[in-house]
Each structure stands twice: as C-alpha cells, then as structure tokens.
Structure 1
Amino acid sequence: MNISSFQALWVVNRRFGIQCLIQVMCGLIAMGSASVALAETSRLDKVLQAKELRACIWPEYYSITYRNPKTRELSGIDIALTQELAKELGVKVRYVDSNFSQLYDALEQDRCDVATHAIGITAERLARLQFSQAYLKSGLFAVTLKNKEGLQSWDSLDQPGRVIAVAAGTLMEGIMAKSLKKAKLVKVQAPGTREQEVLSGRADAFMTDYPYSLRMIELTDWAAVIPAPNNMPTTEYAYAFAKGDNSLLLRVEAFLSNAKKDGRLLQFAKQHNLDPIVVLK
C-alpha cells in the first residue's frame, strides 16, 4: 500500500469514527433528555395521569375532615372542597388518614399530594412546607368539664397546679408552650386523646380551635368551652404541600380563588357552621 492509499484509508476511518461518536453522543443526549423529562414530570401531571388526587386528612377533625364513627362517612368543609377540586381536575380523590404529628412525613415521603385538613400556617411549618392561600382563620379555645371548680375563665387556666393538654404536632402545642408560665403543658400522642386526659382528671383542660370546639359543644354533654381573649394569636389555615414542585399548588390556588369569588367556599363554610371563621379575601 502506497502512502496516498494509506492516507485515504485513514481519512475514511477517521470520518467513520467521528460519525459513530456523534451517533453515540446523540443517543446519550436523547436518553438523558428523556430521563430528565421523566424526572421532571410535575406533581399536577402525575395527578392527572393517575386520575387520582391523594389528599391527607385527619378523620377526627370535626367540620373539617370528620369520619362519622357509626357510618364511616366523611364530612366537612375540606371534604366538600376536595370533591369540587377533583371534579375540576377530572380525577377522583383518595383520602389518606393522617394527623398533625405525621404532617411532614406524609408530604415529604410522598404519601399524599396535598394535606387538606385545615393546616395552620406557622413559621416552623413554612420552613419545610409550601402553603396555599388561607381559607379559614381561628383563635384558641379551652375545653374543660362543665362546672369545674375554679375554671370558668381564660385567666384561670395558667395557674400553679393546672395541667393543660395539647395534641402533639398541633399549632396549639407551640402557642401554649410560649404562653403558659405557671401551668404544666402535656403533649398527647395518638392513640391517646385530649378528651381522655380531661375526663380522667389527668388534665384540667385541653386546647383546641374553633372547628374542634364545635365537636365538643355538639357531640358531648360534659364539655365547657372557653374562648381565648382577643390579645391571643389567631392562625390562618390553608392546604399544605411538600417543597419543590409547585404545579399542583398553583392549580389549587386558582381553585380557591374561584371558590371564594363564586360563593362555593362560603356555601360550604355555612353548611358546616364555619362561616364565622371563613376567609374570603
């Protein structure tokens, strides 16, 4: 083989090698793009593709996401709202039982797409979660036994020897930890309940909010409810999402805005006796 033939063969092989390299690189880029596209499927798209919205609820939350112990049926403002949202999305709702102490894990470990049990917006929760606009706003209420001696006013709660119960993970835990100076604060973990603490005499009162206080008034004959004074903080309630992708959050924002404008939010609030705490702006 002469030099000219060798050079020609080298050029051909070089061009063929470059073409192969280009094809391989293009294939890798295409595969990478497909992987990125798959990895970047939005939360909203996943809901639409699955035709299912996974909504975390606390089934003990009266007038919010309450499961009737006899019929096992769910009712409350957030049951009505999520059904409306699902109808607009063209999907079904799958309710996932949860509670406030499981809130972070439920969202961050992808057990549900959204927490829809009137999540109070606090600084601690804002550091880890995303929130929709507020749709309810509540102050604090103390629940105690009717005619309990020496316990008829808010000022009588924070006294030496008093025991005040809160459900672990609720916003009441943080508020009362800061405000109580003399009384003892007890955090109740499931399956224990605040009601059991009061009825057993282990606690003098437990702290809750407006929706849950309705349960005490309407479903028991032993409870007395003491509202907090005006100088105590109120908390806005919203839907909560894991941080990161905000596609579903934006869609829920649009839904809530429309529900406020067209009257559905107020309608559902009235149906569940929550109109005194509904947020319409």
Structure 2
Amino acid sequence: MITKLALLATGCALALTAQAQAQELPARVKDAGKVTIANQPNYPPMEYKDPATNELKGLDIDLAMALAKQLGVTVAWADIGFEQMVSSLATGRVDLIHSGMSDLPKRRDNLDFVDYMKSGAQFYTTEANKDLYKSPIDFCGKTVGMSRRTSFPDEAAKWSAKNCEGAGKPALVVVGTEGSADARTQLKQGRLDGAVQGSETLPYLVALETGSYQVVGEPFTAVFQGMGFAKKDTELRDAYAGALKALMASGEYKTIFAKYGLEGAMLDGIMINGEAVK
C-alpha cells in the first residue's frame, strides 16, 4: 500500500510539474498548442529519416517529443537547412532549433542554448586505411573532410595549428563538404584521406556500415549540444529547461540516451549557455 501511495504521489507531482511548465509557456505557444522546431534529418543517430517509412527518427527526435509532451504541446517539424536555422528563428518561422547544434560562444550572440548532451569532433578513416592512420597526428599534411556548415573546419584548423604546424609537421588540409554524408562519399571515393564527425554519431555509423570505417583517436574537442532559442524568448527557454529537468528526474532522459548507446554523452544537470543552473 505504501508503494502504491508513493507511486501515486510521484505521478501527481509530475502532473503538477507539467501543468506548471505549461503555464510558463509563451502565450503564442499555449494558444497554438504546439511548438515548431527547426531540424534537418541528415545526422544519424541524432536525426534521420527511416528509408523504408520516411519517418523521422533519432535521439533529438525522441527527446524533442518527450519534452513537448512534458510541456503539454505537440511538435511541428520544419525541415530547414542548417545555415538557415538561425534566421528562421529570428523571423518567427520556428520557435526553437533542435538539430545537433553545438553551443558555441560565437552563436550566443544570437541564441540562448539549453544544453542537453556532450559532444566532440573526432577523426575517422576507411577500414582499408586504418593501418595508415593509427592516430590523429598521422593526418598532418593529409586531406580531411568535414561539413562546412558546422564548427568542425575551424576546430580542425586550430587542432592542426597546435599539433601539426606546432610540431613542425605539414598542416592538415581541411576540406569543407556539403554535409557529413558528402564527406563519407568522398572518403569512400578516395578523394579524402580522412574525415571528421561528431563523436556521438560515429558508433552508429561504424555499426551501420560494418567493415567500412575506422575511428581514429579520441575526440579533439569538447562541446555541448543544445536547443537554440531566440535571445528574447527567455520564457520558452526556461520552460524547456524545466521540462528537461523533469525528464532527468523521471529517468526518461537516460532511457532515451540508452536507446542509442550514448549514455556517456549525458549531462548531470541543467545547463544554459554552457553554465550550470539549478
């Protein structure tokens, strides 16, 4: 009986929390009963479309749906190119961005981030070239591709300045590609010696295409990924922070990350713009 009462009390508390968060939503969101989220589904396992059903899937998708449910709203997805996401948010076309976006200081001029996971840039190559590139330093002087829409080209150049040029070795030749899929295609074609992707995606990629790729070394950056909100939209930002805190407390946050084998990318608490908050 005590256990049942305790469970009932917990359920009531969560319901009250959800109601309180719904009250904190901006009037436009409450009136619409939905949030419009910018997402480009080309970054598995974070976001992608099932080729058989065309259904959106991925960690970001599952987390976004759980957060919306916690807030008592539905989700309308807006498939928007990564480079247009910030402008779409500024013009009100979308309410937030949830699409594998890194919380970088330079982006905070226009956005506030509710961080939800750890990430990092990591080198990889083809399985056929694994003996040529056993450590990241082996890529010095070699051609390495990565999505030009991300922070990876700048981060790779900084890594090269310290670890290649700084050690008297030739610089990394950074090639900005049209996306991570384009980098993989060029890598398979032999036009690239290596590539860079987020560390959260590589285990999925290696498992999906068995015998195709080899991860090289550890991530050479450490960043947070976050949901992006307009600077003026603090009400929605804080409502999402509260909803994420509730998912962490209930265990649903961990369940979602475990589904994709990314427990190591979880955060211990709520962070806004890289800073811990209560």
TM-score, structure 2 as length reference = 0.78
Aligned equivalents of 1:118, 1:127: Cα separation in 2: 18
Instruction: Choose 99-108 or 46-55, whichever is displaced more.
Output: 99-108
AA in 2 matched with 1:164:
V
Asked whether the 8 Å contact 2:180–2:197 carries over to 1, the reply is no
Residue 256 (1) aligns with residue 236 (2): no
Asked whether the 8 Å contact 2:146–2:180 carries over to 1, the reply is no
Aligned equivalents of 1:46, 1:120: Cα separation in 2: 27
Aligned equivalents of 1:43, 1:189: Cα separation in 2: 36
> Which 5+ residue runs of structure 1 have no aligned equivalent?
1-41
Residues 153-211 of structure 1, C-alpha deviations (whole Å, 9 max, x = no match): 111112x2x11111022121221122224121111125971111211222111111122
Q: Which of 208, 215, 227 is the matching residue for 1:225?
A: 215
The equivalent of 2:228 in structure 1 is 240
Aligned equivalents of 2:235, 2:172: Cα separation in 1: 45
Q: CA RMSD in A?
A: 2.1
Residue 153 (1) aligns with residue 135 (2): yes
Offset at 1:101?
A: 2.7
Offset at 1:99?
A: 4.3
The equivalent of 1:135 in structure 2 is 116
Asked whether the 8 Å contact 1:266–1:280 carries over to 2, the reply is no
Residue 276 (1) aligns with residue 264 (2): yes
Q: Between the two proteins, what is the percent identity of the paired residues?
A: 23
Residues 133-169 of structure 1, C-alpha deviations (whole Å, 9 max, x = no match): x2210222212111315212111112x2x11111022
Offset at 1:105?
A: 2.2
Residues 245-269 of structure 1, C-alpha deviations (whole Å, 9 max, x = no match): 2111010010111111221111110
Asked whether the 8 Å contact 2:38–2:94 carries over to 1, the reply is yes
Aligned equivalents of 1:97, 1:256: Cα separation in 2: 23
Aligned equivalents of 1:58, 1:219: Cα separation in 2: 20
Q: Which of 162, 168, 185 is the matching residue for 1:196?
A: 185
- Report the 3-state secondary structure (helix = DSSP H, G, I; strand = E; otherwise coil) of the residue aligned with 2:128: coil
> Which 5+ residue runs of structure 2 have no aligned equivalent?
1-23, 162-170, 270-278
TM-score, structure 1 as length reference = 0.77
The equivalent of 2:8 in structure 1 is none
Residue 167 (1) aligns with residue 157 (2): no
- CA gap of 1:218–1:192, structure 2 versus 1, over 3 A, is closer
Aligned equivalents of 2:189, 2:264: Cα separation in 1: 32
AA in 1 matched with 2:68:
A
Asked whether the 8 Å contact 1:100–1:168 carries over to 2, the reply is no
Residues 195-243 of structure 1, C-alpha deviations (whole Å, 9 max, x = no match): 11211222111111122212321211311112336xx331111111122
- Residues matched between the structures, number: 235
- Report the 3-state secondary structure (helix = DSSP H, G, I; strand = E; otherwise coil) of the residue aligned with 1:120: coil
